[in-house]
Amino acid sequence: MNVFKGPESLTQYYDPDQNPPLPLVEIPKRLNPLREDGVRIFAKILTALPAQNVKSLPVLNMLQQDPDIRSKPLAEASSGSTAISLGVIARALWGHEDVHAHVSNKKPISQMKLLRLFGISVDLFGGMTQPTYDDPKGIMGRLRNRATQKGDIFNPGQYHNENNWKSHIRWTGPQIVRQLPEINVFSATVGTGGCVVGNGKYIKAKKPSTTILGVFNAHGDTTPGPRHLPGMDCAPFAQEIFETIDCYEIVKSVDSFRTSMSLCRNGIICGPSSGEALHGLLAYLKKQQAAGRLGDLAEPETGETNCVFICADLPYQYVDLYHAKLPEDEFPKIYNEELLACDLDVYDDRYHLTPPLLIDLLDRGNLITSIFCQGLVSGIQLRFILA
């Protein structure tokens, strides 16, 4: 019945093993230009998780494996899904109130407000927006050293903690293989590498012929979540990443946001990294088609190529970025836009003067004083109503 009761209700609610598999949804033909060529594309909706993002699985797995979760402040270098999942899950499952997100001072204020909405303290740092993995003086290195040397915080360390990618071997990969045993291509963006490594390892073990595609940001052109390829060889999971993926694509942020917006408008509500995973997948498939190799990916029995991409995030926290990245003509028009510059005071029907009340006030000889004394309207609203 999907009902969770009693003192362990939230623990059960956040446990993937006590929930139905997350949806796997085939995208419509209008979003799949290769459908007539036998390509079927499915979105794995990880945003249907209780915390509504892919990072909640690594966070849950990392926290479950370490007893320090209950006794120390939690600190992670993240401004998005990982930090939100950490704050929500730690509090919901363990009653933990002291969670810190270490965030670049170049991130939008709106992201910091969102973190604080979820009860997460924001610790700002300067320097690069996406810090490098191996810099001991960078925020990742400082947090890691503080956790190991001083021991006064618990740093899950999503970029270094193997329980990150093992969460997808534990949960996501098995779901995908059960739902679509005929999978031929798997596509995920690469940030920490946890999603592509864990799913890729599991799917490859069950069906070695599956192609694993890693999708990266264009260098210097950031889509929130994924990272760029240069420097990835220094990533803690570099060996696992490059052993797991068979090929990669690089996607510009404008294409990530545009593809995400198309998915949203057609019923698959997801954020920019989800759009990047689909755009990269389509780019790869079109290259294979142009080279005459698309059929090599297909399932021999059916001749169809079954692809899965990860829907990892939601669009809402990035609304301002959609409008910054995409041309204004890609959004519907706002009609009567001139009203955005006038009549902006908030009022309701209590402020409307009926003719009898207006006559009564006029008879008293001091309309303005009477109205203000009764708390009916401000001077600006009065001028608007009487006009």
Q: What is the pLDDT of residues 253-272, one digit of tens each?
A: 999 999 999 999 999 999 99
Q: Find how far residue 205's CA is from the centre of its chain.
A: 28
Distances (CA, A) of 184 to 55, 188, 281: 24, 14, 12
Please, which pLDDT band fits residue 302 given cuts at 50, 70 and 90?
A: very high
Task: Tell me, yes or no, whether 112 and 81 share the same domain.
Answer: yes
Final residue belonging to a domain, choices 124, 150, 176: 150
* 89 is a domain residue: yes
DSSP helix, strand, coil percent of the chain (3-state; round to 5): 50, 15, 40
Query: DSSP character for 354?
Result: P
Q: Is the pLDDT of residue 365 over 70?
A: no
**pLDDT top residue among 306 and 344:** 306
pLDDT at position 385: 47
* 11 is a domain residue: no
Going through 323-386 in order, the beta strands assigned E by DSSP cover: none
Task: Tell me, yes or no, whether 314 and 370 share the same domain.
Answer: no
- What is the overall mean pLDDT for the chain? 91
Average pLDDT estimate for 142-164: 92
C-beta neighbour count of 361 within 10 angstroms: 18
* 334 is a domain residue: no
pLDDT at position 135: 77
Going through 268-315 in order, the beta strands assigned E by DSSP cover: 305-311
* 120 is a domain residue: yes
- The pLDDT tens digits of the residues spanning 207-229 come to 999 999 999 999 999 999 999 99
Average pLDDT estimate for 64-79: 87
Q: Is the pLDDT of residue 372 over 60?
A: no
* 302 is a domain residue: yes
Q: What is the dihedral of CA 40, 310, 196, 48, to 10 degrees?
A: -140
Which residues, in sequence order, are bridge partners of residue 306? Answer: 40
Task: Tell me, yes or no, whether 225 and 296 share the same domain.
Answer: yes
**pLDDT top residue among 3 and 234:** 3
* 307 is a domain residue: yes
What's the CA gap between 352 and 335, in Å, rounded?
Answer: 26
**pLDDT top residue among 349 and 123:** 123
Average pLDDT estimate for 273-297: 98
**pLDDT top residue among 98 and 367:** 98
Task: Tell me, yes or no, whether 312 and 171 share the same domain.
Answer: yes
Q: Are 54 and 195 in contact, with CB atoms under 8 Å apart? A: yes
pLDDT at position 384: 43
* 12 is a domain residue: no
The single-letter code of the amino acid at 6 is G
Q: Are 297 and 305 in contact, with CB atoms under 8 Å apart? A: yes
- The pLDDT tens digits of the residues spanning 34-49 come to 999 999 999 999 999 9
pLDDT at position 184: 99
Average pLDDT estimate for 90-98: 94
Domain total in the chain:
3
Q: Is the pLDDT of residue 370 over 60?
A: no
What CATH number is attached to the domain comprising 252? 3.40.50.1100
Taking the model in full, what pTM does it have? Answer: 0.90
Average pLDDT estimate for 109-138: 87
Task: Tell me, yes or no, whether 245 and 318 share the same domain.
Answer: yes
Of 12-21, 313-322, 343-352, the range with the lowest mean pLDDT is: 343-352
pLDDT at position 383: 45
What's the CA gap between 383 and 323, in Å, rounded?
Answer: 36
For residue 304, which of 32, 30, 21, 23 has the smallest C-alpha distance? 32
What's the CA gap between 100 and 73, in Å, rounded?
Answer: 8
pLDDT at position 137: 80
Q: Are 104 and 140 in contact, with CB atoms under 8 Å apart? A: no
Domain extent at residue 363: 344-386
Task: Tell me, yes or no, whether 286 and 364 share the same domain.
Answer: no
Q: Is the pLDDT of residue 371 over 90?
A: no
* 357 is a domain residue: yes
Q: Which two tokens stand for residue 160?
A: 């270094």
For strands 39-45 and 24-26, give the pairing: antiparallel
Q: Are 279 and 255 in contact, with CB atoms under 8 Å apart? A: yes
